[in-house]
Amino acid sequence: MLTKGVRLHHDNARPHTSRQTTTLIEEFRWETVTQPPYNPDVAASDFHLFPKLKEHLGGTQFQDDQEVQEAVLDFLRGQAVEFFDSGFKKWLYRQQKYIERNGDYVEN
């Protein structure tokens, strides 16, 4: 895929849709692969990170936001490189399916 040039995958957040950003992307002739407003099949946080984080934090009582933030950071720091690598590989697979199906729903 990379031998065909640069492809950017981004959501529809304001910085990605600003005139300055879109002009620069056009100037570099980069192809963009957009994501629909909400599609958990191609958002790695939804199909890989959040389920594991939810499992890890499940049943825990927190006193304040600071405790939640610390618990999340501890979880992220405690993950082996393979955890993140696995999520990226799953994302690539799902993204390819998404592209092949022209944006249609992607099954597991």
CB 106 within 8 A of CB 35: no
Q: What is the pLDDT of residue 96?
A: 81
pTM, to two decimals? 0.58
Is residue 61 located within the same domain as residue 86? yes
- Is 102's pLDDT higher than 90? no
Q: Which residues have C-beta within 8 Å of that of residue 71, sequence separation ≥ 6?
A: 57, 60, 62
Is residue 17 located within the same domain as residue 59? no
Is residue 44 located within the same domain as residue 80? yes
**31 or 69, greater pLDDT:** 69
54-80 per-position pLDDT tens digit: 999 999 999 999 999 999 999 999 999
Is residue 74 located within the same domain as residue 26? no
Q: Helix, strand or coil for residue 7?
A: strand
**Euclidean distance between CA atoms 42 and 93, whole angstroms:** 9
Is residue 13 located within the same domain as residue 45? no
Domain limits at 21? 1-34
Is residue 54 located within the same domain as residue 100? yes
